[in-house]
Chains A and B, each alone.
Chain A
Amino acid sequence: MEVDKGKGEAEETRKVAEADRDTVTLKSSDGKLFEVSKEAAARLSTVLAGMIAGGSIDDNGTDLKQIGSEALENVVDYCNKHANSIPSAALISSSISFNTAPFKEPEEWERKFVDRLSHDALFDLVEAANFLGMERLLDVTCHKISEMMKGKSPDQIREVFNIKNDYTKEELEEIRQELAWAFYDD
């Protein structure tokens, strides 16, 4: 692609100016602007790291059309909190041979962070984390949702997540029989 030399130089200058800044500005689908530490954004999000490295960060607010302002606010909040948190001691790297890859439990502040969210906000945050390639945040949010499923009967799960039962009675019985070992008495 032909690039006008003068424009290219201007672009270069702008990029240098951008590189000097400590923060990046993100713009939600509804046009709200959020500032987040560049270091944290690059460390926690593979997508933002790529954009920063590739110089496609817009000083006036990088458009994230897939993410609403509430979810983006939570993303930014998470990044800032993460930047401030002291990493806890490494999880026990157990020598116990039956363990599979260690799953990192959320830390206390991360639990609190997701506990205060409404269901809708939590689901939006899962999608935002997935979109931005934020592995840790995705882990924390998915963990929270899975915790809401554990120990519940199918009816209770449907109630919690507001899901319609689309099985027939016969299908339900059949699907129950398939894995009857798993059900104690519900």
Chain B
Amino acid sequence: MADVLPDDLLAFVLARLSPRWLATSRRVCRSWRDAIDGHRLLRADLLPRSLGGIFLRANNVMFPLLFARPSSPPAIRGDLGGIFRAMDTMELDLGINDHCNGLLLLDDFVLNPATGRWACLPEPPAPDLPEFCYNMFLVFDPAMALHYEVVSIPEVLPGCYPLSQQLKESEWPPSPWVLRVFSSRTGLWEERTFVREGHGPPIGTIADVQSQYYHFHRGRNACSIFCRGRLYVECQNGFVSSDDQPEWVLRCDKNLRAMLPSRRSYRERGNGPWLLRYLLHDDEDGYKEDALLQDTHHSRLGNPHQPAVLMSPQRSRFQPPTGCLEPAALPSPLITADWWLELAVIRATQPMEWSSDMEDDPKSQDEAGGCNGDVDERDRILELMGHYIDFLGFHPYKEVSPPPPPPRGARPPPTPPYGNAGLLLAFCRGHAPHDVTHA
């Protein structure tokens, strides 16, 4: 085809591909690579593939704070307070329900803190099963499409909520299962039907789920992971997976449970103080680095004169005591997207060394302020966090700019396309893996 179409028309065609397919197309032949590179069609540098920071919500600040690596000016302001004031909203409960590749899902809107842009979700349709509670999960992969989806998944409530006998005896999850999915592509809530893969036997009934009910922690940051085109959601009963094939698929696979990181209540692990440590997972390098993170807009957390700083154990030469970092809290390599991020909270059970190890970056040391070796300040911050901590990693995503027009074309190529993100769902039981015996 390279011989058939001139370079600029080839570029015009390729410009419609999402970053992932552009990356594939570069491998086809030299002329395709040259067309892609020559027209700067693939801006992988704009994709959220590295950790931008961590949002942290503490009980003495109204808006979640973004902690990011010190840079001047900050790469992302992440000033949710400013964004919300600009929105003129009366919304005060600013819990972040879910997040995905740079977008945040709040109660009824989706926000991109990197740009400050946001969109309200329309009222979801009345649920099929009003006896259930519904959780929303965000799906967004800019390497595939610039549209996001919000998936609404019902959760069985404990036995104290009465259900009809007929409902109790229904299988869970049902097959076919109709779920509500909001698509930013159409601006509408749509129904998608999932069918159990291979039309296998049911995993259990709703009564089973109720009888085994325990209130597993969802927290603000529900147990969902979107990676490599699949959404995994920790759920009560078995595993479900699906994709965008004509028939959506519901798959039962007990191995999925092992792939999900444990996110138990942080409270369950005892009182603070806590150290926040992030692990940037990378296929090649394993757990790549820990780093110092600094409050991007210098909110005061504890001390009115010093910006708050979270410091990684490694950078501060802190070695967690053996057994402190629970292996279950670490993501298995199976689940890791290239930009997969896992957060782990380490409970500090021993006195910590906080001497800074930031000789390579004197500026950071200055900005770290009184936290370097200042035990009182550190204790105070940690104490505050110990009371209430809620956080999530954040990958900034600023939209891919439209590439420049091909030289001969009469118009610029379209911005990256709006293909289906290849959604695939996987739910898993909130119980121990051996519970999923029917799988």
Give me the interface of A with B, judged by CB distance under 8 Å. 46, 92, 94-101, 103, 119-120, 123, 126-127, 130, 133, 135, 138-139, 142-143, 145-146, 149-154, 157-158, 161-167, 172, 175-176, 178-184, 186
Contacts and interface: CB of A to CB of B under 8 A. Distances in A.
Given A143-B16, A146-B417, A182-B23, A166 B30 contact: yes
Contact of B399 (A46, A94, A98, A139): A98
Interface string B273-287: 000000000011000
A40 B354 CA distance: 75
Contacts of B338: 180-181
Given A92-B187, A96-B187, A99-B146, A127 B411 contact: no
Given A98-B146, A142-B16, A149-B17, A133 B410 contact: yes
Contacts of A184: 228-229
Interface in B1-33: 1-2, 4-6, 9, 12-14, 16-21, 23-30, 32-33
Given A97-B119, A98-B112, A99-B184, A167 B29 contact: yes
Nearest to A145: B13
Interface residues of B, number: 59
Given A150-B21, A157-B25, A98 B30 contact: no
B226 interface: no
Contacts of A181: 23, 44, 49, 143, 338-339
11 contacts: A120-B4, A133-B410, A145-B13, A150-B21, A152-B24, A153-B24, A161-B1, A172-B27, A180-B284, A183-B23, A184-B229
Contacts of B19: 182
A123 B4 CA distance: 7
A50 B377 CA distance: 74
Contact of A99 (B5, B17, B44, B147): B147
A126 B415 contact: no
Given A123-B4, A149-B17, A95 B29 contact: no
Interface string B141-153: 0010011100000
A99 B16 CA distance: 15
A69 to B, nearest CB: 18
Nearest to B410: A133
Contacts of A152: 24
A151 B32 CA distance: 17
Given A96-B187, A97-B118, A98-B184, A154 B409 contact: no
Given A98-B117, A163-B32, A184-B228, 9 more contacts: A94-B187, A97-B117, A103-B16, A126-B13, A146-B14, A157-B28, A180-B283, A181-B339, A184-B229
